[in-house]
């Protein structure tokens, strides 16, 4: 299943409602925190398996496209 970035989430909320609420921003911050944690975990696993690391943007492309 494809995931949504925190920025994509905020853009959709703004597009849907024409404004952003504090709860939307708080949720986006939590999403960003989780995505960063997942990327760090991914990097550690790649390093341990002696695999090439992806930069964050390439990782997010995979994360959001569900590959």
Domain that holds residue 42: 6-65
Q: Which two tokens stand for residue 30?
A: 């939590």
Give the Cα-Cα-Cα angle 19, 20, 22 (nearest 5 degrees).
145
Confidence of residue 63 (pLDDT cuts 50, 70, 90): confident
Inform me whether the pLDDT recorded for 60 exceeds 60: yes
Residue 57 located in a structural domain: yes
The residue with tokens 């944690």 is: 37
Residue 27 located in a structural domain: yes
Whole-model pTM?
A: 0.76
Q: What is the average pLDDT value for the chain, to the nearest integer?
A: 90
Residue 1 located in a structural domain: no
Query: In the chain, how many domains are there?
Result: 1
């Amino acid at each position: 299943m494809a995931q949504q970035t925190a920025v994509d989430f905020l853009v959709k909320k703004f597009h849907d409602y024409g404004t952003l609420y504090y709860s939307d921003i708080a949720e986006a911050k939590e999403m960003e925190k989780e995505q960063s944690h997942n990327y760090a975990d991914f990097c550690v696993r790649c390093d341990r398996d002696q695999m090439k690391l992806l930069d964050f943007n390439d990782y997010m492309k995979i994360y959001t496209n569900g590959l």
